[in-house]
Amino acid sequence: MRKMNSKSSPPSGLVLYTSNTSQSCVEPDGVLTYDEIMECETENFVEYIDELAEKAILLKHREDPERGVIVKPSNSSRYFPGGKRKAKDNIRTRFGRHYKAPGTFVTTTYDHEQYSRWEAWERLPKDLKRFKHDVTMRYKRQGRPSPKYISVIEEQPKTGYPHVHLFYPRLRWLLKKEDVQNLWGVGRTRVEYAKNVNIGGYVCKYITKMGGWSEEALAFIWKHKIRLYSYSRCYKLPVEDKEPSEWAFFINTTRTKIEDNLSMIIRAVPSIENLTDYLEDLPEAIVSQGRAQRGRRRALTKQEENIINTGVAD
């Protein structure tokens, strides 16, 4: 396989190694297929998930240093159940739990004959940004205010291709269907009107459905930092002044280190409020088509019970 110079374009199905490709995925000649790159990136993503599931942060109370609490960084990740719950809470706060509105739905898909699965994923962020911008510019040229929108990305279960759902609240009519089709330009579009849409529930539904994505698709949005959903600026919440937390950072650690050095940790922080719950909860894992979710509970060992009760190992 020959190495291509910077001016030549990759043959069909091949891509050049770039700075966005992990070093572990690089072949000597610098050329990989999309499938080879995604296989490597998926392995990197799975390693990241396993590492994140193990990570823990121990905090100390600012006024009472003998009190502590363990925080799991995975609870803030969209790839874990805890992170999904947090995202849903944020959506319900932003749009209201029961707020409903009529509006226009637009669904966009990719032409499978023109674009491979990974070519579609790779160009998705720019295509979506371009489409939103072009719709807005049509409105501005007509002297109309920019339409408000909420957009959500989803993986098609059978094909693995990405598609996008956009909702324009309180718009009976967005544009002519042929104009919407032409503005998207890279596949098919579907436009339909709905009378009563729970906006918060609509977005939360797709956050839940993310659990059915393939690991390859999850790896792609992780690698390229693609947002699952986006919305017009008018939906952003005002910034509130937050009071300083009562908890202060103590150490970065892992579940294994906590379990192996439990007596030493308890001597440093005698009263860790959620220690028993933390030890009984097994690490959460992503729920995808390729991996099953791990169990959520286990019993404390006798040694752990003794250390928690006495602070001394047997």
Question: Tens of pLDDT along 122-158?
Answer: 999 999 999 999 999 999 999 999 999 999 999 998 8
Asked if 219 and 225 count as a contact pair (C-beta separation under 8 A), the reply is: no
225 vs 35, 180, 185, 274, CA distance in Å?
Answer: 19, 27, 24, 32
Cα(289)–Cα(280) distance, integer angstroms: 26
pLDDT band at 165 (very low <50, low <70, confident <90, very high): very high
pLDDT band at 37 (very low <50, low <70, confident <90, very high): confident
Cα(197)–Cα(203) distance, integer angstroms: 11
pLDDT (average), residues 163-181: 94
* Tally of CB atoms within 10 A around 35: 13
pLDDT band at 73 (very low <50, low <70, confident <90, very high): very high
pLDDT band at 7 (very low <50, low <70, confident <90, very high): very low
Cα(55)–Cα(251) distance, integer angstroms: 11
Retrieve residue 1's tokens.
């396989």
pLDDT, tens digit, for every residue of 202-236?
899 999 888 889 999 999 999 989 999 999 988 87
Cα(142)–Cα(176) distance, integer angstroms: 14
pLDDT, tens digit, for every residue of 244-273?
889 999 999 999 999 999 999 999 999 999
pLDDT given for residue 9 in this prediction: 36
pLDDT (average), residues 290-303: 65
pLDDT (average), residues 106-133: 95
Mean of the per-residue pLDDT values of the chain? 84
Cα(13)–Cα(38) distance, integer angstroms: 12
pLDDT (average), residues 26-36: 68
All domains in the chain, ordered by first residue? 96-235 (3.30.70)
Q: Give the chain's largest Cα–Cα span.
A: 78
pLDDT band at 14 (very low <50, low <70, confident <90, very high): very low
- Amino acid at residue number 302: K
Question: Is 10's pLDDT higher than 60?
Answer: no
211 vs 43, 104, 184, 217, CA distance in Å?
Answer: 18, 26, 27, 11
pLDDT (average), residues 11-24: 45
Cα(178)–Cα(197) distance, integer angstroms: 24
Question: Is 168's pLDDT higher than 80?
Answer: yes
